[in-house]
Amino acid sequence: MSEKKIRVLIAKPGLDGHDRGAKVVARALRDAGFEVIYTGLRQTPEQIVAAAIAEDVDAVGLSLLSGAHNYLFPRVIELLREQGADDILVFGGGVIPEEDIPGLKKAGVAEIFTPGTPTSETVKFLRERCGDKQ
């Protein structure tokens, strides 16, 4: 009973109503043995950060298909930093143009997974980044 489970918050920031991708990823992570906290649609960055802190997650995965990622993703990272929780890994996915990815990474997003990337990539990524936190 004393193994450390990887806990991940999957969140949909902003007004974007596309939730299939987020649910696909949530299921894939569950099937890989992670504990996934799903908070549903239309979350503000403030809500996402508050939930991430109370749930003591290892990582926050943001899903966005509407195009507002360049504002919302960095905003989540900024708030985590303000609250002294920047040890929580932030990654993301959805419809995100190639040319936006370097800027997002510079802002602190650890990785972006775009349409067509197998979910096993995400699992592998999280195992590498959160697996040996003991």
Binding site for ligand B12 (CB under 6 A): 10, 16-22, 24-25, 61-63, 65-67, 91-95, 113-115, 117, 119, 122
Burial (0-12, 13-18, 19+ Cβ within 10 Å), 73:
buried
Q: Rounded distance, CA 99 to CA 27, Å?
A: 28
Q: How far is the CB of 125 from other proteins (least distance, A)?
A: 16
Out of ligand B12, other proteins, none, which partner does residue 20 contact, by CB within 5 to 8 A per kind? ligand B12
Rule CB under 8 A: choose which of 18, 38, 100, 125 binds other proteins.
38
Q: Is the dihedral of CA 95, 24, 20, 16 positive or negative?
A: negative
**Tokens 């943001």 identify what position?**
62
Residue 126 near residue 6 (C-beta atoms within 8 A) = yes
Which residue, 47 or 66, is less far from ligand B12 as judged by CB? 66
* Interacting residue ranges for other proteins, rule: CB under 8 A: 1-2, 4-5, 26-27, 29-40, 42-43, 46-47, 50-51, 53-56, 83-85, 134
